[in-house]
A = this chain, B = another copy of it.
Amino acid sequence: MTQHISLITLGVAELARAKAFYRMGFGWEPVFETADVAFFQMNGFVFAIWDKTQLEQDMARPCAPAGSFALAHNVESAQAVDAVIDRLVAAGATLLRPADPPPHGGYRGYVADPDGHAWEIAWNPAWTVDAAGHVRFAL
């Protein structure tokens, strides 16, 4: 099987609030939306925010309030980490961890989106992000 993930779907309580957050916070625009779901074309996969009662029906399991996972958005400098975190908090995020340097180098902080999903905003000088936003692992 190819080593790929097609879609990351976050369950959200209020789609309008979640859409406003991702638009205001990250500046992201959906490629397609309905009253219940919005799809974003990302770097090699699709990101979706979906009414959580529908995600629950679809995956046949209740959604927990906050998951044991984190998504990360890498930026080009330590200064940009602080600026993006400020922008996300202004857009409705909750600060989980103010940015500081992790043991392996770089600089990162965490916020939670309005539904509690954790986002790491990171500068990692070793990881390349190409013009299409594709990210390659490196030490």
Residues of A that sit less than 8 Å from B by CB: 1-11, 26-29, 31-32, 39-47, 52, 55, 58-61, 63-75, 84, 96-97, 102, 110, 112, 115-118, 120, 122, 127, 129, 132-137, 139
Contact of A102 among B58, B60, B61, B137 (CB under 8 A): B58
Contact call A132/B44, Cβ cutoff below 8 A? yes
Contact call A1/B84, Cβ cutoff below 8 A? yes
Complex CA gap A40/B66 in Å reads: 24
Complex CA gap A118/B3 in Å reads: 17
Contact call B63/A9, Cβ cutoff below 8 A? no
Given A6-B129, A72-B5, A129-B6, check contact A135 B46 (CB 8 Å). Answer: yes
Contact call B69/A3, Cβ cutoff below 8 A? no
Contact call A59/B96, Cβ cutoff below 8 A? yes
Contact call A66/B72, Cβ cutoff below 8 A? no
Contact call B46/A45, Cβ cutoff below 8 A? no
* 24 CB < 8 A contacts A-B: A1-B27, A3-B26, A3-B133, A4-B133, A5-B45, A5-B72, A5-B73, A6-B73, A8-B70, A8-B71, A9-B70, A11-B69, A46-B127, A52-B68, A55-B69, A58-B70, A59-B96, A59-B118, A61-B110, A66-B68, A68-B115, A68-B116, A68-B117, A69-B117
Q: Which residue of B lies closest to A47 (CB)?
A: B5
Write out the residue numbers on chain B whose beta carbons fall within 8 Å of the beta carbon of A67.
63-64, 66-69, 117
